[in-house]
Amino acid sequence: MDKEERKTVNQGQEDEMEIYGYNFCRWKLAIVCLGVVCTGGFLLLLLYWMPEWRVKATCIRAAIKDCEVVLLRTTDEFRIWFCAKIHFLSLETPPFSSPKSMADKISNGHAVHLTENLAEENRLEMNKYSQPQSQQIRYFTHHSVKYFWNDTLHNFDFLKGLDEGVSCTSIYEKHSAGLTKGMHAYRKLLYGVNEIAVKVPSVFKLLIKEVLNPFYIFQLFSVILWCTDEYYYYAVAIVIMSVISVVSSLYAIRKQYIMLHDMVAAHSTVRVSVCRANEEIEEIFSTDLVPGDVMVIPLNGTVMPCDAVLINGTCIVNESMLTGESVPVTKTNLPNPSVDIKGAEDELYSPETHRRHTLFCGTTVIQTRFYTGELVKAIVVRTGFSTSKGQLVRSILYPKPTDFKLYRDAYLFLLCLVAVAGIGFIYSIINSILNEVEARDIIIESLDIITITVPPALPAAMTAGIVYAQRRLKKVGIFCISPQRINICGQLNLVCFDKTGTLTEDGLDLWGIQRVENTRFLLPEEKVCSELLVKSQFVACMATCHSLTKIEGVLSGDPLDLKMFEAIRWFLEEATEEETALHNRIMPTVVRPPKQLLPESTPAGNQEMELFELPAVYEIGIVRQFPFSSALQRMSVVARVLGDRKMDAYMKGAPEVIASLCKPETVPVDFEKVLEDYTKQGFRVIALAHRKLESKLTWHKVQNISRDAIENNMDFMGLVIMQNKLKRETPAVLEDLHKANIRTVMVTGDNMLTAISVARDCRMILPQDKVIIAEALPPRDGKVAKINWHYADTLTQSRDSSAIDSEAIPIKLFRDNLEDLQVTRYHFAMNGKSFSVILEHFQDLVPKLMLRGTVFARMAPDQKTQLVEALQNVDYFVGMCGDGANDCGALKRAHGGISLSELEASVASPFTSRTPSISCVPNLIREGRAALMTSFCVFKFMALYSIIQYFSVTLLYSILSNLGDFQFLFIDLAIILVVVFTMSLNPAWKELVAQRPPSGLISGALLFSVLSQIIICIGFQSLGFFWVKQQSWYKESLPYSDTQAAVNTARSLYGNSSDLSNETNPDRHNIENYENTTVFFISSFQYLIVAIAFSKGKPFRQPCYKNYFFVASVIVLCVFILFIMLHPVASVDQILQIVCVPYQWRTTVLIIVLVNAFVSIVVENVFLDMILWKVVFNRDKQGEYRLSSTQPPQESVDWWGKCCLSWALNCRKKMPKAKYMYLAQELLVDPEWPPKPQTTTEAKALVKENGSCQIITIT
């Protein structure tokens, strides 16, 4: 086959997949059909579970461009297979010429985004086609996205809208006129209906999907087998449990589907007005919108049904659905490069880059403003699942699977049990054949052994602990939509925190201002609202430079803007809709101070004077606003004081940025020192600037002037100091996490030094710890990318070499830290831009920085997600706690994402806290650890239950006997089910401890625990079994007849059953004998003994004696078994088929049981916990990685398990399990790490295979 058989789609993206082509094969289909019939449908189930096998079994390989079915495999670590059928989209020749070229272009693969000049493309592409099938477009759908065949790429690619490859100039020149009806109809055929369809599956479909789970199929197999062998009671119990489990699961899944459907469908279909190419306005349903439509935004607002770029007017939008912030955002029209500065026309439009001009799907437009009759218009750029809301819904519908070692090891452990069952399976068949058992009985008996060794109740038992943990979390206000994540949260060893609203209070308080006069800072002033300052440019800037607006009479906007405006106590008035419609282009927003702050000498007659003669009426009109840009870190406005002939420009933003745009002579000499003093104290500092504009600038010219023309040559006016207080519980919670050896990382959009200060205040960074700031610069002017390393304490001083104090850079002390990192630790801090540069140009440094990175400032939403991925790449189990503001991606990607917001954005987070406090984090980790340990306990108990019962039956089989039907029933129903559902009720331990539970079952402590208990139980069962034969009163019990005994023994062996119709002749099965009675009593106690031994409490769960249901269950069962053993009751003995043995032997059995209990509990709770736990289970603190001459660094609890497996596979352990631990050991002996202060790391011009970098010391 040619190379087309394997391609990659979405290359370089998160959902990258390999694609293979196949065609249906009739003879293969016929063979599969025959196989399905011969296997009774089992082959069909197998092919249902394995898409890869299904396609390969029914199809043959084919070139991708001609295939009928595609097989897809993700390229991530999960390597999941999907299959999709190829469909054909028939494109009829439209009644106009231009779309014909687009049809050709799409079928030929070029239209991966919308074309801009259709006529020209028609001429270029027409000669490529001569066949009528060019109108047939091949595509397939995967995860709600259509992939069309692209002949140019020789691959499938998804259809894009105006969000890629379209310049801002073409937005206005080629798309602002709207579409013709013919072009609209044509694009709708391609793009389909504009809807985010979340179909709620029918109960029947969900039921079929649920019951086809392999575990439920196995349970069905077991139940049928037991019913065949007339073992009805336990079969009924399993059926009841399975039904309850299926019903509860169906209810939860369907409820989530309905919630998601309701969230999406609330405003999915509305009527919208669109502008057509002939300038007429047509009203259509929002489901008919396509990219390129010009949508009219109504005056009273709407819920956006698509992503659209604003080209006329302004909108006030609530984006809480996407960002989690309910603060209204002002959206302005996209700048038209043709009327702005030259050179900008080549800029490509991007929804992310131009967020301030883009209306996103699902967000609510609260108000619109239009001028002189011009409608507020927006061009549709994305529809359906391609929109921002659609992508969010897709991530919820098709989540990335969680890879957790527990679940992988659970399947491995089950395979081991299956192997054990296989041995018994073969042994049973051989013995049955040798004893000339009937074929029917051989089949039942040999299959029945599997139901003994692999317990069908295991899934329900494993789920119980998670369900109980979910209920406990709900009681403390934490809601979970992904229960399986609870176990994973028990492994978290690093938690990322957003700052504002998470670690600190939501709001900012105005601490004071520090004005500048004559290029010198004045003393800080606490009171801004005063008569002396009311007409100052400083207060005028605070009054005008904001994005506040009135919504239903209430002032709304950014909290920082609100605090500043409230501090000066001014009033804001906006023009009405009628005023904006009548006036030319603009009717300004007006701000005015309170009357009591103005001079009182104004005569009343002045109110009749001309505007420019009114000295006492002080009002400022906001003529033009340049919204805040996170990329520029500033905003500005053009305003005019009532009566002034010249306009004023005001600007505010990040102090460093504002100072760089001001005249140098207006910036105080000590600006950097004053700024550093404030940021070190944790204040958020905003700088203000102002300049008078030229009188020739009219209102009309201001509307078209570029931002850069305004924001330069300003006069520096001073600083506004805002205070962001820590939440009261923050330090205590972080202290608890540090004591538990859980690393904490701050991820914020705030200023770097402010973030470092907050990190020190909450003791995320201890006072003696050093902070190294990594300032990465991208390649520029032929120079390679580089990283400048600074100390946080010397960052601002380093700009002036004369200001650097050599005493402030303790290089020797820093070098000494490598010997003992507990004396002085170091942390890395960086901003979002530096982080992106490092990810792109310094891949080899990323793991090293992740090991010590503590503060990440000015991080964009996608950068937060990338950070979580980078931490996971070095094997951290990462938690993320945010208030929903821009944290959605990181919350979804983390192992445990906890949203402190109950807004719609949190629907993607696995956990949501009702109380907006980080105290939920230790609660979640504690419950996660408890649930994880419960899972281990239950799994170990179920494994021991299987092995104990397996060995009991094996011993009895040697004398052609077996356990009786009601003995099986008593063990399976009365003991196992009761114990397994009560032992999971242990609550979490009251505090976090330094140890972490193991991540998988294949670990030294757990393997030793299981194997030691197996040996102990087998030993004591064997002791009782062989000892009873040595008693003087012992008589060997023979079956009814030799031949029949062999048949009956083989039938009852492993079969969990006996023929109830033959209860009148119990000797027929040789059940009533001394060995049976002894083994039954010992094994019954052994189930309870291992349950007590495995039901551990501290340090992850409350002691088992606080689990009152478990204690009561064990006591009742022990008393009952002791009673029937020491005080025989004829009716009970008859039902359980127990023989009467001398009282002395009953006492002996009790002694055997007591010794068994003592040995089991001592081995499990003393030897294992006090010796192995401390030796193997003692992990180093994350982030400290100590070196000691007496004890090497511990790697993980899984070391012992790995050693066992390595020995079995004859391979050697090469490195620690966790990458970050291995890396920490390497860095301890690396003389070049950490980088010295005031050095630079440069990327190699030609990166070698090892991606090495060069460290150059600046002299």
Which pLDDT value is given to residue 623? 83
Question: What is the distance between the alpha carbons of residues 884 and 820, in angstroms, rounded to a whole number?
Answer: 39
Which pLDDT value is given to residue 796? 37
Which pLDDT value is given to residue 799? 34
Angle, vertex CA 823, rays to CA 822 and CA 829, nearest 5: 75
What would the pLDDT profile of 180-224 be if each residue is shown by its tens digit?
A: 888 888 888 888 888 888 888 888 888 888 888 777 888 788 888
pLDDT-flagged residues of the chain (< 50): 1-4, 93-134, 342-344, 582-585, 601-615, 794-823, 885, 905, 1040-1066, 1177-1214, 1246-1252, 1254-1259
Question: What is the distance between the alpha carbons of residues 680 and 204, in angstroms, rounded to a whole number?
Answer: 62
Task: Say if residues 129 and 102 touch (Cβ distance below 8 Å).
Answer: no
- Token representation of residue 13: 């993206």
User: Distance between the two ends of the chain, CA-based, in angstroms?
Assistant: 61
Given the residues 157, 498, 558, 750, the one annotated as active site: 498
- Token representation of residue 739: 């004591």
Count CB neighbours of 1106 within 10 A.
13
What would the pLDDT profile of 309-322 be if each residue is shown by its tens digit?
A: 998 888 888 776 66
If we measure between CA atoms, which residue out of 693, 692, 675, 691 comes closest to residue 683? 675
Residues 544-558 as b/e (b if ≥16 CB within 10 A, e otherwise) read bbbbbbeeeeeebbb
3-state secondary structure at position 1077: helix
Question: What is the distance between the alpha carbons of residues 974 and 997, in angstroms, rounded to a whole number?
Answer: 31
Which pLDDT value is given to residue 1199? 44
Which pLDDT value is given to residue 1148? 92
Question: What is the distance between the alpha carbons of residues 952 and 843, in angstroms, rounded to a whole number?
Answer: 58
Q: How many residues does the chain have?
A: 1259
3-state secondary structure at position 482: coil
Which pLDDT value is given to residue 1131? 87
Which pLDDT value is given to residue 131? 36
Amino acid, res. 993: V
Peptide bond connecting 593 to the previous residue in cis, omega within 30 degrees of 0: no
Active site residue 104: no
Q: Please give the model's pTM, rounded to 2 decimal places.
A: 0.71
Which pLDDT value is given to residue 1117? 93
Q: Residues near 1219 by Cβ (< 8 Å), separated by ≥ 6?
A: 847, 873, 874, 875
- Token representation of residue 703: 């509307």
Which pLDDT value is given to residue 801? 30
- The string of DSSP letters for 272-286 reads EEEEBTTS-EEEEEG
Beta strand segments in 792-851, E:
826-831
Question: What is the distance between the alpha carbons of residues 213 and 210, in angstroms, rounded to a whole number?
Answer: 6
If we measure between CA atoms, which residue out of 1032, 1029, 1021 comes closest to residue 948? 1021
Residues 286-323 as b/e (b if ≥16 CB within 10 A, e otherwise) read bbbbbbbbbbbbeeebbbbbbbbbbbbbbbbbbbbbbb
Which pLDDT value is given to residue 1156? 92
